[in-house]
Amino acid sequence: MRIIPAIDIIEGKCVRLTKGDYNTKKIYNENPLEVAKEFEDAGIEYLHVVDLDGAKASQIINHKVLEQIASKTNLKIDFGGGLKSDKDLEIAFNSGANQITGGSIAVKNSEIFEGWIEKYGSQKIILGADFYPDNSGGKIATNGWQEESSLELIPFISEYQQKGIQYVICTDISKDGMLQGPSFETYTKILNECHVELVETSLKLIASGGISTFDELPKLAANGCEGVIIGKAIYENKISLKQLENFIIKK
């Protein structure tokens, strides 16, 4: 299972929110590159960068930060937040993103998103499936989590699987930033129900939201998650970079 630390950006600074609420913003470092270098020094290879200004503005804003991290580290970066047009995507890839994540666009303009999958391939495009839990499993949220759609989580993922998506970042918004543990049951359900006979490649599910202790990581790996995004647990010293380094070495 890949370890993918998160850097969320507002006004060029490394921040964290709770449940996606911009009013809960906490600045952890004014220089995201410093943070990225610390991750790289700990043997980490991957990074999840979210342009929170972009998510709100519905267009890429913090591409200069992406460019700086990409040009001054060897981290493989997936980048998301406000990518809505072909131009946004071009800027993200030209700024050094290895992969991009599309969430709101996949809901609101599936034609554009499907065009990206076709043009760049399933190795480059990640589906962002951010959800509010309910009795059916969950409803997909959009626009920096400020809007809830009527789309159900598992059918949403399955449908895009049929269109070629492999990588899916799935965030339980109710758990994000709460440090109370991830949605183990939901991830198990997704992996069980999104095993589609017609799909040639298996789903690469990336868990996100609520990670709070190191012990949760082997459990997510055993569940079948391909990767895990860790944010506040690192910044609040609930999980140390040394623990992550050892986890990566043991793999």
> How many angstroms separate the CA atoms of 61 and 20, rounded?
18
> 3-state DSSP call for residue 205?
strand
Rounded to 5 degrees, φ, ψ at 19 are 55, 30
Q: Does the pLDDT of residue 32 top 80, yes or no?
A: yes
What are the E-state strand segments in the chain? 2-10, 13-18, 21-29, 46-51, 76-80, 99-102, 125-132, 139-142, 147-152, 167-172, 204-208, 227-230
Mean pLDDT of the chain: 93
Judge whether 128 and 80 are in contact, CB under 8 Å.
yes
Q: In terms of C-beta density within 10 A (0-12 exposed, 13-18 middle, 19 or more buried), how is residue 149 classed?
A: middle
Q: What is the pLDDT of residues 170-216, one digit of tens each?
A: 999 999 999 999 999 999 999 998 865 555 568 999 999 999 999 99
- pLDDT band with cut points at 50, 70 and 90 for residue 142: confident
Known catalytic residues are 8, 130
Share of the chain above pLDDT 90, in %: 85
Two structure tokens written together for 1: 């299972």
Report, as an integer, the average pLDDT of 215-230: 97
CATH number for the domain that contains residue 70: 3.20.20.70
- pLDDT band with cut points at 50, 70 and 90 for residue 251: low
**pLDDT number for residue 141:** 85
Considering its fold, how many domains does the chain have in total? Answer: 1
Q: What is the pLDDT of residues 67-99, one digit of tens each?
A: 999 999 999 999 999 899 999 999 999 999 999
Judge whether 240 and 42 are in contact, CB under 8 Å.
no
**pLDDT number for residue 224:** 94
Which residues constitute the domain of residue 143?
A: 2-250
